Each structure stands twice: as C-alpha cells, then as structure tokens.
C-alpha cells in the first residue's frame, strides 16, 4: 500500500535560519503534492501545490521541491520566524485515487 513518511521528530531551529522539512513516499505515483500548515487545535491550512512536472515552486519565504525519481519533496522556510512554528503536513494526489493521501506531519519550532 502507499506510504508517506514525514519526520516524526520535531524540528527545532533558530530564528532567521532556513527550515527544511522532508516528505518521502513509496508505492505511489502522485501527479502533484500539497503542503498544509496546522496550528495546535486548528484545521490544516493549504500553503502550496507543486505538480510532477515542476521541480520547484516558491511563495514568499516558502519553497517546495518535488523529485519524482527520489520520491521526495522538500519544504523550505527561509528567514524563519517564531510565528512559523506549527505542524506541516504533506499530501499527495491523485495517483489513481480520488483523494489526497496525508502524511502524519512534522512539527517545527522556531526559537528566538
């Protein structure tokens, strides 16, 4: 069955540094990949979508890469701020399924 892996350990970084989160997948051929942000006790909020034919996508301080050979996406936040502290979820779709498949998420903590 399809499997999505995000680092279960929290990522702790210093303010101003670049945070890099990883999303790996197996047994799946997604046409695109999405990243969501989730704050404690809140619903996920859509951030970015990258398609399989796009190597890189940017939005303000966010950058996402998508390597279909490595079956991996990297999510970067440059010049990180404490307000960026949250859990970040990757989601893959459709890959033959009529739904998104979500990873469990990685918690990011940015320290002043």
Partner 1 sequence: EAQVTQNPRYLITVTGKKLTVTCSQNMNHEYMSWYRQDPGLGLRQIYYSMNVEVTDKGDVPEGYKVSRKEKRNFPLILESPSPNQTSLYFCASSSSGGTGELFFGEGSRLTVL
Query: What is the contact surface with partner 1 in residues (CB under 8 A)?
Result: 4, 8, 32, 34, 36, 41-46, 49, 89, 91, 93-94, 97-100, 102-105
Closest distance between partner 1 and the C-beta of residue 57, in Å?
14
State the nearest-atom distance from the C-beta of 76 to partner 1, in Å.
Answer: 20
Burial (CB count <10 Å: 0-12, 13-18, 19+), residue 95? middle
CA atoms within 13 A on the CB side of 39: 7
What is the rounded CA–CA span in Å between residue 59 and residue 93? 20
> Shortest approach of partner 1 to residue 16 CB, angstroms?
30
């Amino acid at each position: 069955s399809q499997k999505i892996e995000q680092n279960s350990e929290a990522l702790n970084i210093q303010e101003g540094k670049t945070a890099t989160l990883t999303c790996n997948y197996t047994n799946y051929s997604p046409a695109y990949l999405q990243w969501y942000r989730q704050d404690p006790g809140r619903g996920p909020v859509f951030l970015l979508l990258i398609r399989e034919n796009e190597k890189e996508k940017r939005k303000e301080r966010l950058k996402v890469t998508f390597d279909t050979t490595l079956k991996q996406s990297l999510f970067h936040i440059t010049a990180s701020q404490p307000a960026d502290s949250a859990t970040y979820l990757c989601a893959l779709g459709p890959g033959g399924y009529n739904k998104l498949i979500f990873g469990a998420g990685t918690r990011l903590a940015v320290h002043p």
